[in-house]
Amino acid sequence: MKKLSLISFFFLTFLGCEAKKIEVPDATKSASKENRMNSSEIAIIGGGCFWCTEAVFESVPGVEEVLSGYAGGKNKNPTYEEICTGLTGHAEVIKITFNPKEISFAKILDLFGESHDPTTLNRQGADVGTQYRSTIMFLNNTQQELANEWKKKLGTKLIDPVVTEIVPAPTFYLAEEYHQDYYKRNPNKGYCNFVIRPKLKKLNLE
């Protein structure tokens, strides 16, 4: 009986040790994810309809997250319907979380310039209004300097002047849920087929 109890004791102890081992990988993954997020940087840009700009940057290596939203206007917590009036002052923008070890802010600006027309004021294609303006909303002095350098350099390559505004980042308001990951969720809808997909192919992102 004592022998059986001793065996049971060691068996249960073994199981207990194994249970603890199972928990370790999850803790490691959580710490790793937290470290990645702590080393990430943010960029806020707008270049027309955010369905399109979101799709472009979601396809880029080094980009960890892209959120569609509104920024730069007077209304707090604006809705899409309010934005569409063009009277709120907000622009459709995307908030990019990226790993600077994989892609730099300067590279993000280069792709930004390639993915929209920075010479058209308050317009991108058929989308017209201040909400579709070309904008870079910097979060620090380094981003401001890089944005100014980008605009100056791009201006020497284009015939028409670059009208992209460069402003301090205001409050970012997250857009409604149905706007998030729009291209991924609706790849066969008209706008996705005729506007987004051709742009992704042109940029070699699809």
Distance CA 134, CA 97 (A): 19
Query: What is the per-residue burial (b if ≥16 Cβ within 10 Å, else e) of 156-182?
Result: eeeeeebbbebeebbebbebeeebbbb
**Which token pair is 204?**
């070699």
What is the number of other CB atoms lying within 10 angstroms of the CB of residue 6?
10
Distance CA 16, CA 150 (A): 59
Out of 49, 52, 84, 192, pick the active-site residue.
Answer: 49
Measured torsion, CA atoms of residues 140, 78, 197, 45, in degrees rounded to the nearest 10? -10
Annotated active-site residue 17? The verdict is no
Residues 6+ apart with CB under 8 A from 122: 128, 129, 130, 132, 133
What residues act catalytically?
Answer: 49
